[in-house]
Amino acid sequence: MSSQIPPAERVLRARAAANERWSFVEDRPAATQSARTAFLDGFEHQVDPDGKLAPEERARRAKSLRTACFQKLALKSAQARRRRGGAKV
């Protein structure tokens, strides 16, 4: 069914649903805390899958991996903007 809905309409529906969902939430950070924790824990698991590193070293490496991940996303974003002709770097 969703393949029959034009992409622009799907975007509008999704935005309306998101706004409706957040209209009932008093504390947004609390509502997304478990997702943020899981996201950040994923970096620690990637750098130390067996849990053998000291917590400080694991945190240091996870921070570096997280930074690298966001830098790669920024690079991809800049490349996409350049391809579209709207480069704001």
Task: Please name the residues in contact with 13: beta carbons below 8 A apart, sequence gap of 6 or more.
Answer: 5
Query: Which residue type does 53 have?
Result: L
pLDDT at 86: 67
- pLDDT tens, residue by residue, 7-21: 999 999 999 999 999
Burial profile 19-37: b = 16 or more Cβ within 10 angstroms, e = fewer: eeeeeeeeeeeeeeeeeee
Residue 43: closest CA among 26, 21, 25, 60: 60
pTM value is: 0.68
Q: What is the greatest pairwise CA distance in the chain?
A: 52
Can you say how many angstroms the Cα of residue 39 is from the centroid of all Cα atoms in its chain? 8
When the pLDDT of each residue in the chain is averaged and rounded to a whole number, the result is 93
Q: What is the pLDDT along the chain (89 residues), one digit of tens a residue?
A: 557 999 999 999 999 999 999 999 999 999 999 999 999 999 999 999 999 999 999 999 999 999 999 999 999 999 999 999 865 65
